[in-house]
Amino acid sequence: SATAPSSLTVVSKTATTITVSWTALDSSDADGYVVNVTSDTDTVQTVQVEGSSNNTITLNGLRELTTYSITVRAYQQLLGPAIVFTHCQPEGIYLVHNQNCYPNVSYFWDSRVNTVTEAISCVLPGTSLTTGQWVRVADPDDPVDCNSNGASDPFRCTNVTSPATLNLYLAQGLPAVQEGWYKCCLPTDCSDPNTNIIFANIFRFAEIESFIVSDLPFDMTVYSQEYKLNCIKIGYYRYDGISMSIGSTALASYTNCDDRFSYCPSTVLVSSANTVRYTVNITWDGMTVSSGSISQSTTGDQMYQCVLDNLSGADRTRTLTIK
């Protein structure tokens, strides 16, 4: 069978270039390599490297703050198996999951991080791992024990020395008491005041990823005003319902939701993560908030809620205030 190159690593990088290398194969296993660079939307470039001993290449013309996946395949007459490296950014701590880059305070459904191949990777470019830690924010004195695999600590970890990387995944189900916010510290422990920190929320069932306002007028003193409330749900595709309200007045309320069949009116954002957006159009005349035929008298700050009702487990509530 064909042999894949191994140990794909970053040699150097700038904001717009990256140099990668890999372990060269014997001439009996490869005539050369094909390097493929893709972004979230398309193939950026494909380069053929002739000769099995030529195992380094510099890729130019990359864009800042863009996720790239770099794939190297050995070729003979047919392309062989590949190894993949994800390049997110040249500096600063970040998260990677399933070859996609994630910023600080990102959300991860527990059933999508339950194997070593689906680990959440915490990466700090340009550094070597000293110790590093994953710590549950609610219990900062009890860091994740990557080797316990017990009900009280269901996580496992792997690591890469350079660049400093800690990969976190679940070896068993996530107990309800342990869902929530986790922080990764690199390249040293969280007790080091100079360490780098990034946060991830690991949750069961379904969760509200964000509750935000869009199209808000620049001048809030001119009436009437029109804007949108966007409640973004992520995780398990079935949930009892979701609603948005101001005070005790429901502006939108949906029940028996199943994202697979669009039972509740939403916009699909990421189908693989069951990420959907619920939107309510708001009109405010300075005295009354209205959405369609529903209205609520209000003056001063407008305080909204989005509530997600899980089939089991904790319900989710997010609040939003417009001043």
Q: What is the pLDDT of residue 127?
A: 92
* List of domains in the chain: 6-87 (2.60.40.10), 94-203 (2.60.40.10), 206-322 (2.60.40)
Low-confidence ranges of the chain (pLDDT < 50): 1, 78-79
Single-letter amino acid, residue 252? A
Give first-to-last CA distance, the chain, whole Å: 64
Q: What is the pLDDT of residue 77?
A: 53
Whole-number Å distance between alpha carbons of 95 and 87: 11
Q: Are 296 and 287 in contact (CB under 8 A)?
A: no
Single-letter amino acid, residue 160? V
Sheet containing 68-75: order of strands: 43-50, 32-38, 68-75, 79-87
Whole-number Å distance between alpha carbons of 110 and 233: 15
Residue 188 token pair: 């040293």
From the list 202, 12, 167, 198, the residue with the least C-alpha distance to 92 is: 198
The H or E element that residue 315 is part of is none
Q: What is the pLDDT of residue 78?
A: 47
3-class secondary-structure state, position 273:
helix
